[in-house]
């Protein structure tokens, strides 16, 4: 579940948390995780919301996606980070870390 570290996004995510809880009644093995998206660690608000996320009841992934122009450029160009080349290097590292973490979770659930 992607969450932008802002109060409005947290409030909107409450309904998603309820939907996940309801879905777990039918599928007890359902895994849910929060991925922090568009984070700006240099703001007090973001740091405060990040501090509140562990109380949300859904585990956080360690990988975070920061607010970067590269993501918007990909959307505008209809491409991927790879199409931006070295200009998207840090963003590509973030996405790779996220992918590794998700694959590790999926691998452990299938064991």
Q: pLDDT tens for residues 46-100?
A: 888 888 888 888 999 999 999 999 999 998 988 888 888 888 899 999 999 999 9
Locus of tokens 């973030």 = 94
**Long-range pairs of 19-25 with CB within 8 A, sequence gap ≥ 24:** 20/58
Residue 13 has pLDDT above 50, yes or no: yes
pTM over 0.85: no
Q: Is the pLDDT of residue 111 over 60?
A: no
The full set of domain ranges for the chain reads 1-67, 69-111
Arithmetic mean of pLDDT, 28-48: 90
Query: 8 pLDDT band (50/70/90 cuts)?
Result: confident
Q: Say if residue 109's pLDDT is above 70.
A: no
């Amino acid at each position: 579940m992607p969450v932008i570290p802002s109060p409005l996004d947290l409030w909107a995510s409450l309904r998603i948390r309820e939907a996940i809880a309801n879905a777990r009644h039918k599928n007890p093995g359902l895994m849910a995780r929060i991925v922090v998206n568009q984070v700006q660690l240099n703001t007090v608000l973001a740091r405060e919301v990040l501090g509140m996320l562990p109380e949300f009841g859904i585990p956080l992934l360690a990988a975070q996606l920061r607010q970067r122009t590269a993501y918007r450029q990909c959307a505008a160009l209809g491409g991927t980070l790879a199409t931006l080349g070295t200009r998207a290097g840090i963003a590509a590292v973030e996405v790779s870390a996220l992918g590794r973490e998700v694959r590790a979770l999926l691998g452990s659930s299938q064991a």
